[in-house]
Amino acid sequence: MEAYLLDWANLLLRWLHVIVAIAWIGSSFYFVFLDSSLTPPADEKLRREGATGELWAVHGGGFYHPVKYAVSPPVLPPHLHWFYWESYATWLSGFALFLVSYLWSPSVYLIDPRVLDWQAHYSQWAAVAAALAFLVVFWLLYDGICRVVARSHGIGGKGDAIVGVLVALLVAFAAWLACQLFAGRAAFLLVGAMIATTMSANVAHWIIPGQRKVVAALKAGQPVDPIHGQRGKQRSVHNTYFTLPVLFAMLSNHYSFTYAHAWNWLFLIAIMAAGAAIRQFFVLRHGYKLGRNAHPWPYALAGVLVLLALIVWLRPAPAASSATATAPVPTQAEVQAVLTQRCVLCHGEALQSKGLRLDRDEDLRQHATLIHQQAVVTRQMPLNNATGMTDEERALLARWFQAGAAAR
């Protein structure tokens, strides 16, 4: 019953998480596009009021005319729409999903004894504490970098470039460390959760508080300090570059050939860099259309080249050796014996994890391709090899499949 209820919690939390994440990322991408596409106001009245940019757009059968006041509008409107619940709901639902999927059963999903045997040297709860520390410590270090560089070099220009380099190095180190401590699947997702936590913390600790201070100053009739807008803009831009790496990390658990690789940390760093480069292309593309910068095609090309290099790097190993090919074809009973010992605990009549049974002959024929893919090609299953499937047993399954398992 517990496994059944956890599956429902996972389903509903994942559904909620995707819905609110779409709302957050959509609004974030829209405002980055808006800032990049604004042009100086044509109306003299708007310029006198302090408007710094405007945009005309058509959508859904109507015309829209957003106007930006970089510091403050001439009159504070009675109603302001605040964009923050999308961020908070995304983080809360994501953390709940992380709790249910990984922290609830750390010995199954978080820990891989082949990477680090937490239970032998420490405890599974030490692994949970270390995973949670990633979320907190990364935010503190990232925030410290932004604060220190802002004091020494200001916000924008050279200061932003320094922050970008230091944060990239921090992310790379965190990705390497996570892959030395946790199961590959958990490490990838943890790096994504770590960055996503920082994105939401940017909203909660800098963007929204700065906007509240601006509104409070306007209501009190006091001059507005432009630093609040500059800080908010900096953190918002950081968030947009974080987005594609985070999305990959969250989707990676479906693709074991990425996180199961021996150099999984290097792959993660490379693909996150590719995502950030591709995002840079789309950010600068709007400015190019207005003649503000050169065409950003080199960023897109760099991202695509990295992706192509990763595709070549992770290509499957050659087919089985001739020695394996000449080995006897295992019988159905031999295959079933391996699966009964290594797989049926989770995929038998009692549990049927993911709706999959492997304790009957018809199941073996129906799921032969899946068994071969998961246990032989990607070696994803058994999960973290918790039941200790040997290389010889995987070779046996390979010979069974290559001999026409589905037709046997």
Give the distance from CA 233 to its chain's centroid: 22
Q: What is the pLDDT of residue 244?
A: 93
Q: What is the pLDDT of residue 401?
A: 86
pLDDT at 188 over 90: yes
Q: How far is CA 59 from CA 62, 65, 222, 291, in A?
A: 6, 11, 37, 24
Find the helix or strand (DSSP H, E) in which 318 lies: none
Tens of pLDDT, residue by residue over 364-376, are 778 888 888 888 8
Q: CA–CA separation, 280 vs 275, rounded Å?
A: 9
Tens of pLDDT, residue by residue over 355-408, are 777 878 787 778 888 888 888 877 777 877 778 888 888 888 888 888 876 555
Q: What is the pLDDT of residue 26?
A: 93
Q: Are strands 67-68 and 57-59 parallel, antiparallel or unpaired?
A: unpaired
Handedness of CA 76, 77, 79, 80 (dihedral sign): negative
pLDDT at 326 over 80: no
Q: CA–CA separation, 322 vs 348, rounded Å?
A: 34
- Phi first, then psi: what are they for 91, rounded to 5°? -70, -45
Q: What is the pLDDT of residue 322?
A: 47
Section 209-219 average pLDDT:
91
- Contacts for 168 with CB less than 8 Å, ≥ 6 apart: 273
pLDDT tier at 352, thresholds 50, 70, 90? low
pLDDT at 55 over 50: yes
Q: What is the pLDDT of residue 372?
A: 85
Section 250-269 average pLDDT:
89
| Candidate from 102-111, 177-186, 288-297 with smallest mean pLDDT | 102-111
Tens of pLDDT, residue by residue over 113-163, are 889 889 888 888 999 999 999 999 999 999 999 999 999 988 888 899 999
CB atoms closer than 10 angstroms to residue 194: 24
Q: Are strands 53-54 and 57-59 parallel, antiparallel or unpaired?
A: unpaired
Classified as helix, coil or strand, 52 is coil
Domain ranges of the chain: 2-25+85-313, 322-407
pLDDT at 77 over 70: yes
Q: What is the pLDDT of residue 164?
A: 94
Higher pLDDT, 76 or 316: 76
pLDDT tier at 351, thresholds 50, 70, 90? low
Q: What is the pLDDT of residue 1?
A: 62
What percent of the chain has a predicted confidence (pLDDT) above 70? 94
pLDDT at 323 over 70: no
To the nearest whole number, what is the mean pLDDT of the chain?
Answer: 88
DSSP string computed for 72-118: --SS--S------HHHHHHHHHHHHHHIIIIISSHHHHT--TTT--H
Alpha-carbon dihedral angle through residues 325, 329, 334, 338, given to the nearest 10 degrees:
20
Q: Which residues of 390-408 are buried (b: 16+ CB within 10 A; e: fewer)?
A: eeebbbbbbbbbeeebeeb
Section 94-123 average pLDDT:
87
Give the distance from CA 243 to its chain's centroid: 7
